[in-house]
Structure 1
Amino acid sequence: MSLHPDLSAFLELAELGRLTGKSQPMHTLPPALARTEFDATSQILDPNPPGNVQVCVLQLPTRDGAEIDARLYRSAASAGKQLPVIVYFHGGGYVVGSLDSHDSVCRRLALSGDFAVLAPAYRLAPEFPFPTAVEDAQDSLEALAEHAQVWQLDRQRVVLAGDSAGATLATVLAAMAATAPAQLALQPLAQVLFYPVADISQVRASHTRFGEGYLLESATLEWFYQHYASDPAQRLDVRASPLLGAAVAQVPAYVALAGYDPLYDEGLAYAHWLETAGTRVTLSVETGLTHDFLRMGGIVAQVDEVYARLQTWLASL
């Protein structure tokens, strides 16, 4: 399938901006500036996210004595009800991304009122390299387990979710739940993975096929990984490259991939890896879209269908 026409037009504008010097590839920027520019894209990709959602600002403690910001989303119609919860980890290659960059995603996930959404702002590299993001994700579940009653959340019905590097955090926690449950404060009900980073130890064919011109570039991926896991040995750690782990059955997984994405091959391999281990996997491939499509509700109408299919799957749990 060819690239979605609305997305194709957007990418042409982005390329024009680069040619005229108005924008630069992310991997040529210092991390602080890259974060600012990445957050600003939300106003372009989804400028009018759902407003009928309540948002509570939280601080979650971490094992080293720090606190990380978090947001708890729930639809206004569900106020006062105990809800199952999606713990959502934002994407951004462990270097960029924030609660602001993925605010529209969390609002859309919470809008139906079937689930609340807890979004932790795990700390970013290079200031906080591997494995800080994983440990912050674990500590977020500790906080959820402790405060679930106060936050009116059902700790027995927790879905781990994320996109890109955030999806990696979700599936790493799901794997821990299967192999070392004592490391987690609660056991997840399911995992939802949008275009996950599954293996940072090698280059695959899709890295070349879609390496430039499709929003996420292969050079940017390497820039992310250099900041996050500068020691080559860290790239072989299953907490950074879960595809390298031992195949074990995990909680049910919803895996959504983009057809024009350098991460496509490893995402597909990971879905098959889960299936081989006995995990129940629902695979959805958005053949005409690129990486980061979950944030594109304002420019590609098809994204509404993506959320609708996910809600149907969640309702079946």
Structure 2
Amino acid sequence: MSLDPDLSAFLELVEANALSGEKPAMYMMTPEQARLDYGASTHILDVPGPLVASVTEITIPCRDGQSINARLYKPTELPATTALCPVLLYFHGGGYCLGNLDSHDSLCRSLAALTPCHVLHVAYRLAPEYRFPYAVNDAHDAYRWLLMQGFAYGLDSTRIAVGGDSAGGTLATGIAIMARDEGWQPPVFQVLLYPCTSVWQDTDSHQRLARGYLLEADTLQWMFKLYLRSDADRTDWRFAPLETHDLSKLAPAYFILAEYDPLLDEGMAYAERLKASGVDTQVNIYSGMVHDFARLGNIVEEAGQVRQDLADTLAKAFYHENNRI
């Protein structure tokens, strides 16, 4: 399918602004400038999220004695299953350098309201101030906190799904692997929106879609240069899940991929590895879409559709016993 016409018009505008010098490409900005731009664009590109019963700000302690912030969304209604409620532990995208609790507020509200379930959205620490593996450790610490302290918020530690978009999806995959390897209560499900999974960005989709499709090659490498301490970190499975030797006995996974996303091929490659390892894996490729389309509610109708699709899939994982591990 050709690129969605509304996306095409939007990308032409982005290109015109770059050529005129009105707005430089992200990789030409400082991290501080890029964060401000990313935050400002959120309110232009995405719709406000739906109302939920409550939003609670939470502080989670980390292994190094510091703490990170998180936001817990409680839906207005939940099925009368048990006293404790299922929860999605969510990590935002932004190449480990951008994004915060506000940039993905609409998406998290939607998933909480539509599933329905609680959503715990974690603001892991960002590069370059905090390079690899800080984001990974923060994600793992948030999962451990949820296992040990979630009950105080009415959350069911036996019904935790992990999820995220882009770099956040990578963090979610790492939790599934870590929980298995360290003998922690495993998540019941993974929801992975166009995750980063590969050591090098050299696939066919990276080459075909290197420029002009929202996520550009130069921007991606700019982000990874800020995040990684050296090229040696690239081969660490916590950065590149495709480097994981054993992907068996992991939580079922649901992939959201986009036809015009440079990350398409590596997302497909990771899904195929999971399938070959015996993991129940579903893949949904959205035709005509680009990277980060789930946050483009003011640009494409598919942003609303993907949220409903994710919610329907999460509901099955949370409320149907035969989908539990």
Q: Which runs of 4+ in 1 moved over 6 A?
A: none
Cα separation, 2, equivalents of 1:107 and 1:196? 21
Quote how far apart the aligned CAs of 1:53 are: 4.7
Q: Is the 8 A contact 1:83 1:114 kept in 2?
A: no
Match of 1:148 among 142, 147, 150: 150
Q: For structure 2, which runs of at least 5 residues remain unmatched after alignment? A: 318-325
Q: Counterpart in 2 of 1:268?
A: 268
- Aligned partner letter, 1:155: S
Residue 101 of structure 1 is matched in structure 2 by 103
Distance 1:260 1:113 in 2: 27
- The alignment covers a number of residue pairs equal to 314
Q: For 1:188, what is the secondary structure of its paired residue?
A: coil
Q: Distance in 2 between matches of 1:315 and 1:34?
A: 35
Matched residue, 2:302 = 302
**1:224 partnered with 2:223:** yes
Letter in 1 for 2:157: R
**For the residues of structure 1 that align with 2:261 and 2:103, how far apart are their CA atoms?**
20
Q: Which moved more, 1:26-35 or 1:161-170?
A: 26-35
For 2:321, the equivalent position in structure 1 comes to none
Structure-2 residue corresponding to 1:111: 113
Partner of 1:192: 191
Verify: 1:289 aligned to 2:281, yes or no.
no
Shift of 1:316: 2.0
CA distance in 2 between counterparts of 1:79 and 1:228 reads 41
**Alignment partner of 2:167 out of 142, 165, 168:** 165
- The CA RMSD measured in Å over matched residues stands at 1.6
Query: Structure 1 residues 232 and 205 mapped into 2: Cα distance closer, same or farther (>3 Å)?
Result: same
> 1-side partners of 2:77 and 2:265: how far apart?
40
Instruction: Determine which of 120, 125, 128 is the counterpart of 1:123.
Output: 125
Q: Does the CA contact (< 8 Å) of 1:84 and 1:153 recur in 2?
A: yes
Contact in 1 for aligned 2:115/2:312 (Cα 8 Å): no
Shift of 1:202: 4.5
Task: Please tell me whether the aligned partners of residues 78 and 117 of structure 2 are also in contact (alpha carbons under 8 angstroms).
Answer: no
Identical columns (%) = 45
Q: Which residue of 2 aligns with 1:60?
A: 60
- Give 1:44's aligned residue: 44
Give the TM-score normalised by structure 1.
0.95
User: Any idea what the Cα deviations from partners look like across 1:172-194, whole Å, max 9, x if unmatched?
Assistant: 1111223x133x4x320010100
State how far apart, in whole Å, the 2-side matches of 1:157 and 1:62 are: 23
- Tell me how far apart the structure 2 counterparts of residues 79 and 132 of structure 1 sit (CA, whole Å): 36
TM-score (norm 2): 0.93
Cα contact 2:91–2:165 (8 A) shared by 1: yes
